[in-house]
Amino acid sequence: MKDKPNILIITFDCLRPDHLSALGYRGLFTPTFDRLIDEGVIFTNAYCQAPNTWISHASLFTGCNPYRHGVRTPLRKIAPNVRTMAEVFQEAGYTTFGLPAMSLLSREAGFARGFDEYCLDGLQSREGILSHRYYRSASDTLAITKHWLRGISRPFFGWIHYFGTHRVEDSLLDLPPKYRQQYSEYAQYYDGKVAFTDEQFLEHLVGELKTLGILDETILVLWSDHGENLHGVEHNPQYAHNWTLKEDVMRVLLVIRAPWLLPPGEKHSNVVQSIDIFPTLLELVGVRSFQSQVEGKYLTTPFPQSNPIVYMENLCQGFVGVRQDRFKLIISKPDSQGKENSQISGVFGERLIWRLRLVKNAIHELLPARWKWQGRREPVSEVTDGLAPWWSARGEPEEILLRLIKHGTCTLYDLYNDPLEHHNIASQKPTLVKDLKQIIHDLAVHGANVEQAYEASEEAAVEAHLRALGYF
Ligand SMILES: [Zn+2]
């Protein structure tokens, strides 16, 4: 095993690749990112599967679309019959460690599977219930990573989640005053965080890899889980990335630096996806015994020439979409009309159902056995049907998906002629819309795995977790 390279994946949460100077951005200079891009291979048309941290990470870890790995809302787990990247590398003899920066990437939801060490320190209270401080600061992330790298046996598979590019409070972000003073509006403020990340995090981390003499023995993957809607946030903070499937939030950074394996400086503009990372790493290190559920493709030589179909969803907020060749179809819940004006948002809808479930369970416990409901999982669905139609029929993702396909508002973009997605051409191409809807249906309905919801006994703990994060 000693000849195997190490693997280090770094998630830069919310990082938009088009805000790096290496890719032509003029708003700031990112010398460390730029140098690593020069030394590695960059995929300039990389997509995530969902504009949402936990769904997107589940796709990274499993190489699957959400309908297959099962994480589609905060209340779902990675399906037990789906293998994770850490599990596969662990079995292949790698030492594995994971450092989440956000507590929803929890053990309970299956994100820790396969990691020898999975550090949630600082994200949990003494009672074991996750505290309000649900993200990790940049300095803590760097310090813990350095500590691990100095003591870990090789080869290792590591995943670091960096939250400094996410929208959080300055005081906990370690953002030095010079960046805060230089930028005022949110977009400039965002650039300040990217500059800070380049200078104060990535440069130090790469310096550590050099000092340890392992930079050129380590496959380094720079990835973002989704982008950021820099204008939406000025209307409402939660619109930063969770409320659309547009390019701003679906396009992600993907760089693989392994100069002894991949020719430095190559730029690939074919469409690729986050789910491709898992099979690509297996191929690069020669672990080929794994037959699995993976839907992604190898991004190694020969490089795939045809563009794949890209499936995307955020059922939490009532969106599903697909890109095929130059066209992208987004289906949104009818009351939103592609905007952020729903009376009952996904999170609220799920929260409502959750509350009703808890009430139902409490009543259920008090009932004599002969009065208990038999054969019906959700006796409250009649109530929730009326209040939150997109979370009706027990709030199951499959049901939401079918409703979207049948009743949702369709928006079609020609990304070649309209890359900024200003012009909805759905009414001009009804046959194409119908075909793309059928693709979504075939993928997400026929390809769906069994959903894994929390057991009733776990619900209280998960509810406390979500409340701590501000979802209630
Ligand atoms: Zn994220």
Q: For the ranges 55-69, 131-145, 185-199, which has the lowest average pLDDT?
A: 131-145
- For residue 394, count other CB atoms closer than 10 A to its CB: 17
How far is the centre of ligand 1, averaged over its atoms, from the C-alpha of 291 (Å)?
A: 29
Whether residue 156 contacts residue 7, with contact meaning beta carbons closer than 8 Å, is answered with: yes
pLDDT at 460: 67
How far is the centre of ligand 1, averaged over its atoms, from the C-alpha of 315 (Å)?
A: 16
pLDDT band at 445 (very low <50, low <70, confident <90, very high): confident
Please compute the mean of the pLDDT values over residues 422-440 and round it to a whole number.
96
Please compute the mean of the pLDDT values over residues 90-118 and round it to a whole number.
92
List Cβ neighbours of 213 (8 Å cut-off, separation of 6 or more). none
Please give the Cα distance from 208 to 146 (Å, whole number). 7
pLDDT at 336: 45
How far is the centre of ligand 1, averaged over its atoms, from the C-alpha of 296 (Å)?
A: 20
How far is the centre of ligand 1, averaged over its atoms, from the C-alpha of 50 (Å)?
A: 10
How far is the centre of ligand 1, averaged over its atoms, from the C-alpha of 225 (Å)?
A: 5
Residue 384 pLDDT exceeds 70: no
Q: How many residues in the chain?
A: 472
pLDDT at 458: 67
**Per-residue pLDDT tens over the stretch 200-238:** 999 999 999 999 999 999 999 999 999 998 876 656 555
What's the CATH class of domain 6-308? alpha beta
How far is the centre of ligand 1, averaged over its atoms, from the C-alpha of 428 (Å)?
A: 35
Residue-averaged pLDDT of the chain: 80
Residue 264 pLDDT exceeds 80: yes
Tell which phi-psi region holds residue 63, choosing left (phi > 0), alpha (psi between -120 and 50) or beta. Answer: left
How far is the centre of ligand 1, averaged over its atoms, from the C-alpha of 226 (Å)?
A: 6
Greatest mean pLDDT range, 57-71, 158-172, 282-296: 57-71
pLDDT at 107: 86
Q: For the ranges 198-212, 312-326, 337-351, which has the lowest average pLDDT?
A: 337-351
pLDDT band at 382 (very low <50, low <70, confident <90, very high): very low
How far is the centre of ligand 1, averaged over its atoms, from the C-alpha of 14 (Å)?
A: 5
**Per-residue pLDDT tens over the stretch 61-70:** 999 999 999 9
pLDDT at 298: 87
The full set of domain ranges for the chain reads 6-308, 330-468
Dihedrals phi, psi of 412, to nearest 5 degrees: -120, 130
Please give the Cα distance from 136 to 285 (Å, whole number). 30
How far is the centre of ligand 1, averaged over its atoms, from the C-alpha of 43 (Å)?
A: 19
Residue 262, both tokens:
């991949």
How far is the centre of ligand 1, averaged over its atoms, from the C-alpha of 15 (Å)?
A: 9
**Per-residue pLDDT tens over the stretch 150-160:** 999 999 999 99
Residue 342 pLDDT exceeds 60: no
